[in-house]
Amino acid sequence: MTYFRHAAIVAAVVAGATTVSAQTTIITREPVEPRTVVTIEPLELTPVQRRTIYRTIVRERMAPAEPTIEYRVGARVPGGVRLYPVPQEVAVEVPAIRSYKYMVVNNRVVLVDPATSQVVEEVVD
Rounded to whole angstroms, how far apart are CA atoms 97 and 80? 22
Q: With beta carbons less than 8 A apart as the criterion, state whether 109 and 73 touch.
A: no
Q: How far is CA 46 from the centre of its chain?
A: 26
Return the pLDDT at 59: 73
What are the residue boundaries of the structural domains of the chain, listed by start?
47-123
Return the pLDDT at 47: 86
Residues with Cβ within 8 Å of residue 73, at least 6 apart in sequence: 40, 42, 119, 120, 121, 122
Q: With beta carbons less than 8 A apart as the criterion, state whether 2 and 10 touch.
A: no
Which pLDDT tens digits describe the chain residue by residue (125 residues)?
565 566 666 666 666 555 555 567 676 676 656 655 455 566 788 888 888 887 887 777 665 565 567 788 888 988 888 899 988 888 888 888 899 998 888 888 889 999 999 999 888 87
Return the pLDDT at 41: 63
Which residue type sits at 85?
P
Return the pLDDT at 56: 80
Domain 47-123 has CATH 3.10.450: yes
pTM above 0.75, yes or no: no
